Amino acid sequence: MTSARRWRSTLAVACFLFIGLQALAQSPAPADCPPQASMPTAEERAKLSEQARDRGFLWR
């Protein structure tokens, strides 16, 4: 590749990345995040365990 082609391709990639980063910076952030996942309580685990046994699933 000649140095002129290399320069043009480098410039094109730099412009593409610059425009892409500007578009990402202007996109609005979500207003609220989904709730954090939480571990089930002991009662919920016992209930899920009973339901799994009732359906014949292997529960470990």
Given a contact cutoff of 8 angstroms between Cβ atoms, the answer to whether 40 and 48 are in contact is: yes
Cα distance between the two ends of the chain: 62
Q: Give the start-to-end residue ranges of the domains of the chain.
A: 1-27
- pLDDT tens track for 12-24: 777 677 777 666 6
Q: pTM (2 decimals)?
A: 0.35
Q: Identify the band that residue 43 occupies on the pLDDT scale cut at 50, 70 and 90.
A: very high
* Exposure on the CB side of residue 10, measured as CA atoms within 13 A: 7
* Exposure on the CB side of residue 44, measured as CA atoms within 13 A: 4
Given a contact cutoff of 8 angstroms between Cβ atoms, the answer to whether 52 and 59 are in contact is: yes
